[in-house]
């Protein structure tokens, strides 16, 4: 099972302060929009999403169909295929992808410690 590009999505109190902090660690703005209260920061292959007021806790994120540069891949495991495989392994879902559709979709699960994992396909 290939989950795609990996990033961590952080809930932040002050987007500008967080941006400045991560820039000091060598990250630069890779995407997002400060006016929309989120930025995607990148340092090499490390990606951090900074989100102000969008969700309650940090989220581990995987993007099937993307590489670490958010470029579309020709071949990848569709989010629905991943979801079915995890269901077959007994994983419980917080939110499921609609298996009757194709294209962009997502699902959410929690690990045993309550960490939220978002598998979010954009293509």
Record the pTM. 0.90
Identify which of 40, 32, 38, 41 has the alpha carbon closest to the alpha carbon of residue 53.
Answer: 38
* pLDDT tens over the chain, length 123 residues: 899 999 999 999 999 999 999 999 999 999 999 999 999 999 999 999 999 999 999 999 999 999 999 999 999 999 999 999 999 999 999 999 999 999 999 999 999 999 999 999 999
- Residue by residue, DSSP assigns the chain as ----EEEEEEEES-HHHHHHHHHHTT-EEEEEEGGGTEEEEEETTEEEEEEESS-SS-EEEEETTB-TTSPBPSS---HHHHHHHHHHTT---SB---TT--SSEEEEEE-TT--EEEEEE--
| Assigned CATH for 5-121 | 3.10.180.10
């Amino acid at each position: 099972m290939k989950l795609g590009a990996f990033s961590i999505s952080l809930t932040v109190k002050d987007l500008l302060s967080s941006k400045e902090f991560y820039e000091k660690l060598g990250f630069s703005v890779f995407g997002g929009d400060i006016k929309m209260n989120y930025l995607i920061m990148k340092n090499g292959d490390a990606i951090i999403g900074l989100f102000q007021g969008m969700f309650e806790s940090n989220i581990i994120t995987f993007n099937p169909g993307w590489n670490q540069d958010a470029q579309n891949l020709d071949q990848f495991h569709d989010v629905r295929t991943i979801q079915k495989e995890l269901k077959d392994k007994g994983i419980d879902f917080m939110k499921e992808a609609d298996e009757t559709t194709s294209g962009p979709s997502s699902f959410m699960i929690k690990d045993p410690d309550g960490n939220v994992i978002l598998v979010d396909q954009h293509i």
